[in-house]
């Protein structure tokens, strides 16, 4: 209503409407201060849309959320689980992080690869990790992979897809080695091999071709490496290095990076130019006239 | 208050268009489903198990959104288990079906779930109840659901006869599902079957190359 008219006119009136919005927002947020929020409040997305229109026909865009355009894969092998991921994090068309860690720690025997919005996968897995640690301490039992998958599923279903996290959960527990896929809307699948992210089609092709049940560990590592490499080669959102995480009942081997990308840049990090590189056109010296007002001498104790 | 609820109009993650089927016979039920889960045009899981146990002798066949049906099935199996412990006897299939109906009807705007509840109990033997989207509940001797069901209504109507044995029911279900999977793009993979009787549960899988074949133009 009222705010649209002010936005249409000029820059200064935008500032006025913004402060009105600011008061409105504070009022809204304060009524939730005492209770925990049960849902996401999308109120500010309205304001962001108005701001984008006002700043002029798509000339300046709001910063896009950091997405991990990704390739992640997981395979159940003979004595454990092999998880793999690329290491590129993109913010629209710029690579924001070349050595992003997409395989997150959940428990000593459970790790989770995340694709989707980077912040969501990070925080969801951290939350899951703390909840599982508390559970272990309370019950005196080691956490199981199916438990982690159920907790994730319940949480993501509650948020109805607002948390953009596609996760591959893998681990070894007393019941064996398992891989679960959890989708952003809260759907769960238990499968022997899996690929997700924007490069999943390419990686899945490699996995479908060469997967065999109960593979040896080295063969599984090579298969996952090749699947991620296929994703890196065929997808613009995936790239840089490959991380591999091997989980067995004896322990975890988190190899980061398992394979570095062939395209390395040699950054010098020190940019010194010789004197005379920038030509001096003219020179002017200005004396600072200083007057000695007061002088004190303090002797130092040197004995 | 000031929440903007994001409508689930077209959920593109883990959406399951499916073919599911259940048939009653004297002494139990036979249930069957395909095994494809799609996200848009990509098959996210080609070996899905859509036959979910709710209790020892009660199963449900799930179609619609994978997330919604998994959550509903979890909630109902908890409620039914609790009810059964309180009663100190196995629950009725009708009870399970009503629990599904209550949940699907109450949250009909937010959910996208079509469920077939089937099982055996001591009071009425084998029963099939269908709870389609919207939350209706009706008992039927044979019921199909999911996107692939539209292609086999004619086959079901012409081939079903009451008084079939368990083996005839299993063959009937396998044939119907194979026909639906042949015509419906969102159904495919393997056929999962289960026969539920008083003595227990028999699960089987028919792989893609072993499916019954029919005339293909």
Of A45, A185, A201, the CB nearest to B14: A185
Instruction: Write b or e for each residue in B68-101: b if 16 or more Cβ atoms lie within 10 A of its Cβ, otherwise e.
Output: bbbbbbbebbebbeeebeeeeebbbbbbbbbbbb
CB atoms within 10 A of CB B185: 12
Q: CB of A76 within 8 A of CB of A178?
A: yes
Taking contacts as CB-CB distances below 8 angstroms, the residues of chain B near A45 are: 4
Q: Give me the pLDDT at residue A95, please.
A: 85
Contact between A240 and A98 under an 8 Å Cβ cutoff? The reply is yes
Average pLDDT over every residue of A189-212: 94
Tell me which of A116, A187, A188, A197 to substitute to probe the interface with B (most B C-beta atoms closer than 10 Å): A187
pLDDT at residue A148, rounded to an integer? 94
CA distance B24 to A66: 53
Q: What is the pTM of this model?
A: 0.75
Closest Cα of chain A to B112: distance in Å? 12
DSSP code per residue over A208-270: HHH--TT--HHHHHHHHHHHHHHHHHH-TT--S-EEEEEEETTEEEEEEEEE--S--------
Cα angle at A67 between A64 and A72, to 5 degrees? 170
Q: Which residue of chain B has the CA closest to A38? A: B3
Give the distance from residue A43's alpha carbon to the nearest chain B alpha carbon, in angstroms.
Answer: 6
Whether chain A has a CB inside 8 Å of the CB on B42: the answer is yes
Res. A62 pLDDT band, cuts 50 70 90: low
Q: Is A222 left (phi over 0), alpha (psi -120 to 50) or beta?
A: alpha
Instruction: For residues A268-272, give the mean pLDDT.
Output: 77
The model's pLDDT over B103-158, given as tens digits with 9 standing for 90+, comes to 999 999 999 999 999 999 999 999 999 999 999 999 999 999 999 999 999 999 99
Q: Could you tell me the pLDDT band of residue A16, with boundaries at 50, 70 and 90? A: very low
CA distance B13 to chain A (A): 7
Which of A31, A43, A186 is opposite residue B67, by nearest beta carbon? A186
Mean pLDDT of chain A: 82
Which of A43, A42, A61 is closest to A52 using CA atoms? Answer: A61
Q: What is the pLDDT of residues B203-214, one digit of tens each?
A: 999 999 999 999
| Residue-wise DSSP of A14-73 | HHHHHHHHHHHHHHHHHTTSSSPPSS---HHHHHHHHHHHHTTTTSSPPPPPPEE---EE
B66 contact A CB<8A: yes
Q: Both tokens of residue A272?
A: 């010194």
Q: Is the pLDDT of residue B180 over 80?
A: yes
Chain A residues inside the 8 Å CB shell of B71: 153-154, 157, 186
- Whether A14 has a pLDDT exceeding 50, the answer reads no
CB contacts of B37 in chain A (<8 Å) are 187, 189
| Percent with pLDDT over 70 in chain B | 92
Query: Residue B57: in which H helix or E strand, if any?
Result: none
Chain A neighbors of B14, CB-CB under 8 A? 183, 185, 187
Would you call B11 an interface residue with chain A, using a CB distance cutoff of 8 Å?
A: yes
Higher pLDDT among residues A237 and A249, named by residue: A249
Is residue A60 over pLDDT 60? no
Instruction: Indicate yes or no: CB of B71 within 8 angstroms of CB of A162.
Output: no
- Whether chain A has a CB inside 8 Å of the CB on B14: the answer is yes
Nearest residue on chain A to B5, judged by CA atoms? A42
- Provide the pLDDT for residue A2: 41
Contacts of B1 in chain A (CB under 8 A): 28, 31
Question: Residue A238 has what pLDDT?
Answer: 86
Contact in structure between B77 and B160 (CB atoms under 8 Å): no
Instruction: Say if the Cβ atoms of A189 and B13 lie within 8 Å.
Output: no
**A236 vs A15: which has the higher pLDDT:** A236
Interface mutation vs chain A, best among B1, B14, B18, most A CBs within 10 Å: B14
Q: Which of B5, B48, B65 sits opposite A185 (nearest CB)?
A: B65
Selection from A239, A119, A110, A133 nearest residue A179 by Cα: A110
Q: Is the CB of B75 inside 8 Å of chain A's CB atoms?
A: no
| pLDDT level of residue A12 (50, 70, 90 thresholds) | very low
Per-residue buried b or exposed e for A119-135, using 16+ beta carbons within 10 Å of the residue's own CB: ebbbebbeebbebbeeb
pLDDT of residue B7: 37
CA dist., res. A96 & res. A233, Å (int): 19
Catalytic residues of A: 70
Subunit contact B1:A31, Cβ cutoff 8 A: yes
The pLDDT of residue A57: 57
CA distance B55 to B57: 6
Q: Do B67 and A31 touch (CB under 8 A)?
A: no
User: B41 touching A, CB under 8 A?
Assistant: no
Q: Is B71 at the interface with chain A, CB within 8 A?
A: yes
What is the interface pTM, i.e. ipTM, of the complex? 0.80
Quote the CA–CA distance of B168 and A156 in Å, as a whole number.
42
Question: What average pLDDT does the segment A34-45 reach?
Answer: 59
Q: What is the pLDDT of residue A25?
A: 54
Asked if residue B172 has pLDDT above 50, the reply is yes
Residue B48: closest CA among chain A residues belongs to which residue? Answer: A189
């Amino acid at each position: 209503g009222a705010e649209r008219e002010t936005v249409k006119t000029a820059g200064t009136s935008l500032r006025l409407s913004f402060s009105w919005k600011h008061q409105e927002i504070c009022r809204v947020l304060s009524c939730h201060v005492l209770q925990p929020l049960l849902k996401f409040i999308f109120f500010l997305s309205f304001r962001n849309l108005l701001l984008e229109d006002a700043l002029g026909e798509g000339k300046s865009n709001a910063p896009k959320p950091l997405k991990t355009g990704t390739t992640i894969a997981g395979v159940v092998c003979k004595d454990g689980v092999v998880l793999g991921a690329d290491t590129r994090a993109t913010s629209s068309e710029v690579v924001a992080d070349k050595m992003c860690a997409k395989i997150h720690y959940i428990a000593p025997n459970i790790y989770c690869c995340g694709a989707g919005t980077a912040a969501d996968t990070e925080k969801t897995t951290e939350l899951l990790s703390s909840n599982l640690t508390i559970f272990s301490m309370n019950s005196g039992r080691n956490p199981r992979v199916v438990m982690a998958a159920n907790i994730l599923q319940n949480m993501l279903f509650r948020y109805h897809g607002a948390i953009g996290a596609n996760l591959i959960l893998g681990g070894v527990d007393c019941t064996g080695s398992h891989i679960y896929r959890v989708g952003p809307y809260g759907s769960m699948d238990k499968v022997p091999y899996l690929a997700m992210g924007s490069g999943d089609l390419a990686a899945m092709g490699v996995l479908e071709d060469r997967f065999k049940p109960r593979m040896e560990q080295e063969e599984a590592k090579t298969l996952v490496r090749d699947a991620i490499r296929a994703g890196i080669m065929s997808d613009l959102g995936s790239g840089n290095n490959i991380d591999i995480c091997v989980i067995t009942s004896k322990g975890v081997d988190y190899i980061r990076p398992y394979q570095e990308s062939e395209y390395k840049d040699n950054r010098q990090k020190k940019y010194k130019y010789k004197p005379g590189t920038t030509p001096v056109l003219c020179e002017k010296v200005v004396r600072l006239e200083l007057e000695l007002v007061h002088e004190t001498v303090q002797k130092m104790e040197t004995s | 208050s000031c929440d903007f609820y994001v409508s689930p109009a077209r959920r593109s993650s883990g959406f399951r268009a499916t073919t599911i089927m259940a048939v009653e016979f004297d002494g139990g039920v036979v249930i069957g489903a395909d095994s494809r889960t799609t996200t848009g045009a990509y098959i996210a899981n080609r070996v899905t198990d859509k036959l979910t146990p709710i209790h020892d002798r009660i199963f449900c066949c799930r179609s619609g959104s994978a997330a919604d049906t998994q959550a509903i099935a979890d909630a109902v199996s908890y409620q039914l288990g609790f009810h059964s412990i309180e009663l100190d006897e196995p629950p009725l299939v009708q009870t399970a079906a009503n629990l599904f109906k209550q949940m699907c009807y109450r949250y009909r705007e937010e959910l996208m779930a079509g469920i077939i509840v089937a099982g055996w109990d001591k009071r009425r033997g084998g029963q099939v109840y269908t709870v389609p989207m919207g939350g209706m509940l009706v008992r039927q001797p044979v019921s199909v659901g999911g996107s692939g069901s539209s292609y086999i209504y004619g086959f079901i109507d012409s081939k079903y006869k009451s008084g079939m044995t368990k083996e005839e029911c299993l063959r009937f279900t396998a044939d119907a599902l194979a026909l639906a999977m042949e015509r419906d793009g969102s159904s495919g993979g393997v056929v999962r079957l289960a026969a539920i009787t008083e003595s227990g549960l028999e699960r089987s899988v028919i792989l893609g190359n072993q499916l019954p074949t029919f005339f293909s133009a």
